[in-house]
């Protein structure tokens, strides 16, 4: 299959391009498009064979459910069997935006989307391209991140093409995404509410929106091997979102001094640690504050992957709330350095 790439203006996408992409989707095709977080790989959510093609293209295990992208609360209600007041509050405040809500699904959503679960994960993306695509389709759009299973999420169309070229129909290239890390996934089906995947919207904001009285917890870090089907959210697998290059993490910059460096290596310093003396010629990238680190982390790792390095070493940021999402992704992308 030849993957077509269409350039599209991120602010005012042409109606013609959106209509063309929507018609590919309506015929059961796969279209990658940018959201504010990462590029998604879309298929018509109500068409089981189109959705199965997502799993094939990504090599994604069938038990790992997909996020359904809708154009607003009205469409969200159609794909859920219960729309509680908390959902209304949170959607009213954070949609469009990087918050995914897990709710009981309605019969419109086929089993293949949810991996057979009785719940569906939903969100409304913000960018005009993503919104316009759903509007033109007139139907919900199932879309996981547009990468091969267990690889890094893409923040540019080039990343999608490199990973999925030849396996999908179309990529809408509207430039880099603005946030750079995947949405927060929040389970509303029981109390306490559970954050299944930390993301750009944190527990404090969610709690404030609900008046500060609703208990919220983080899902336990589940240490499971790929293949386990018992996970609350299968995206919680360890060593997920990983670069191709062997990638290690250290908790403090001093540990860098004890590594015997191969010839081609990169160090990514997240936070403001002072570095020890390092060998000449090492690539050093610094991502100093949580916002720019979120925006640039995947892009930096994708860039490192193109350099044919022997190793990437990441200096972890401190274990503090503002770094939680980044630490979560780093723990999945990198193995601990054990000396
Ligand atoms: O920012 C994002 O969320 C991006 C863009 C494209 O929207 N999407 C994304 O999708 O990251 P994906 O498939 O890579 O991650 C979806 C996460 C996975 O951890 C999955 O297990 C979880 O959401 N998930 C989906 N449906 C679920 C459900 N019914 N119950 C629990 N977790 C669910
Ligand atoms: Mg993903």
What's the number of CA atoms in the CB half-sphere (13 Å) around residue 185?
Answer: 23
Ligand with an atom nearest the CA of residue 149: 2
Ligand 1, residues 30, 111, 130, 182: which to mutate, most atoms within 8 A of Cβ?
Answer: 182
Any atom of ligand 1 within 6 Å of the Cβ of 119: yes
Any atom of ligand 1 within 6 Å of the Cβ of 294: no
Cα separation, 55 vs 141, in Å, equals 14
CA dihedral 23, 62, 104, 37 (to 10 degrees): -60
CA 337–ligand 1 middle distance (angstroms): 29
Ligand 1, residues 35, 177, 184, 235: which to mutate, most atoms within 8 A of Cβ?
Answer: 235
Exposure string of 163-177, with b = 16+ CB inside 10 Å and e = fewer, is: bbeebbbbbbbbebb
Calculate helix-pair angle for 324-333, 290-305, nearest 10 degrees.
Answer: 20
Strands of 184-187's sheet, edge to edge?
A: 4-7, 170-173, 31-34, 39-44, 141-142, 67-69, 119-123, 99-104, 184-187, 193-197, 216-218
SS3 247: strand
CA 281–ligand 2 middle distance (angstroms): 33
CA 15–ligand 1 middle distance (angstroms): 28
Cα separation, 175 vs 155, in Å, equals 8
For ligand 2, a single-atom ion, the residues with CB < 5 A are 145
pLDDT at 225: 44
Any atom of ligand 1 within 6 Å of the Cβ of 42: no
Q: Are strands 67-69 and 170-173 parallel, antiparallel or unpaired?
A: unpaired
- Residue whose Cα lies nearest atom 10 of ligand 1: it is 144
Cα separation, 182 vs 206, in Å, equals 17
Ligand 1, residues 59, 121, 159: which to mutate, most atoms within 8 A of Cβ?
Answer: 121
CA 47–ligand 2 middle distance (angstroms): 21
Any atom of ligand 1 within 6 Å of the Cβ of 102: yes
CA 58–ligand 2 middle distance (angstroms): 10
Q: Provide the H-helix boundaries in the chain.
A: 15-26, 48-58, 73-79, 85-94, 111-114, 128-137, 157-164, 203-209, 290-305, 324-333
pLDDT at 74: 98
Ligand with an atom nearest the CA of residue 33: 1
- Residue whose Cα lies nearest atom 15 of ligand 1: it is 144
Closest CA to 330 of 147, 97, 204, 152: 152
Could you give the C-alpha distances from 325 to 132, 170, 183, 295, 297, in angstroms and in order? 29, 30, 10, 12, 11
- Atom nearest to 181 CA in ligand 1: 1
CA 235–ligand 2 middle distance (angstroms): 7
Residue-level pLDDT, tens digit, the chain, 339 residues: 999 999 999 999 999 999 999 999 999 999 999 999 999 999 999 999 999 999 999 999 999 999 999 999 999 999 999 999 999 999 999 999 999 999 999 999 999 999 999 999 999 999 999 999 999 999 999 999 999 999 999 999 999 999 999 999 999 999 999 999 999 999 999 999 999 999 999 999 999 999 999 999 999 865 444 444 445 555 555 556 789 999 999 999 999 999 999 999 999 999 999 999 999 999 999 999 999 999 999 999 999 999 999 999 999 999 999 999 999 999 999 999 988
Give 58's DSSP letter: H
CB atoms within 10 A of CB 60: 21
What's the number of CA atoms in the CB half-sphere (13 Å) around residue 226?
Answer: 10
Any atom of ligand 1 within 6 Å of the Cβ of 60: no
SS3 112: helix
Any atom of ligand 1 within 6 Å of the Cβ of 41: no
Sequence-separated (6 or more) residues with CB below 8 Å from residue 253 = 269, 273, 274, 275, 276, 315
pLDDT at 241: 77
Task: Identify the burial level of 225 via C-beta atoms within 10 angstroms of its C-beta, where 0-12 means exposed, 13-18 middle and 19 or more buried.
Answer: exposed
């Amino acid at each position: 299959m030849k993957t077509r790439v269409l350039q599209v203006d991120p602010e005012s996408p042409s109606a013609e391009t959106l209509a063309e992409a929507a018609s590919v989707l309506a015929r059961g095709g796969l279209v990658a498009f940018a959201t504010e977080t990462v590029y998604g790989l879309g298929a018509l959510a109500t068409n089981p064979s189109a959705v199965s093609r997502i799993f094939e293209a990504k090599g994604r295990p069938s038990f790992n459910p997909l996020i359904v992208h809708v154009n607003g609360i009205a469409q969200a209600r159609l794909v859920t069997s219960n729309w509680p007041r908390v959902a209304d509050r949170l959607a009213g405040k954070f949609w469009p935006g990087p918050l995914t809500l897990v709710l009981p699904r309605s019969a419109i959503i086929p089993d293949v989307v949810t991996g057979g679960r009785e719940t569906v994960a939903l969100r409304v993306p913000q960018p005009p391209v993503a919104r316009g695509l759903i509007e033109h389709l007139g139907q919900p759009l199932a879309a996981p991140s547009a990468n091969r299973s267990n690889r890094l999420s893409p923040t540019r169309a080039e990343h999608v093409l490199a990973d999925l070229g030849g396996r999908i129909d179309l990529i809408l290239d509207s430039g880099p995404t603005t946030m750079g890390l995947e949405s927060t996934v929040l389970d509303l089906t029981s109390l306490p509410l559970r954050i299944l995947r930390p993301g750009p919207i944190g527990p404090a904001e969610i709690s404030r929106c609900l008046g500060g009285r609703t208990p919220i917890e983080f899902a336990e870090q589940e240490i499971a091997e790929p293949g386990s089907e018992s996970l609350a959210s299968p995206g919680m697998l360890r060593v997920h979102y990983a670069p191709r290059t062997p990638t290690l993490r250290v908790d403090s910059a001093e540990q860098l001094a004890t590594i015997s460096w191969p010839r081609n290596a990169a160090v990514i310093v997240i936070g403001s640690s002072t570095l020890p003396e390092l060998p000449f010629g090492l690539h050093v990238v610094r991502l100093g504050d949580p916002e720019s680190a979120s925006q640039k982390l995947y892009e930096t790792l994708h860039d490192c992957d193109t350099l044919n390095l022997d190793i990437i070493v990441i200096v972890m940021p401190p274990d503090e709330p503002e770094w939680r999402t980044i630490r979560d992704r780093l723990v999945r992308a990198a193995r601990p350095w054990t000396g």
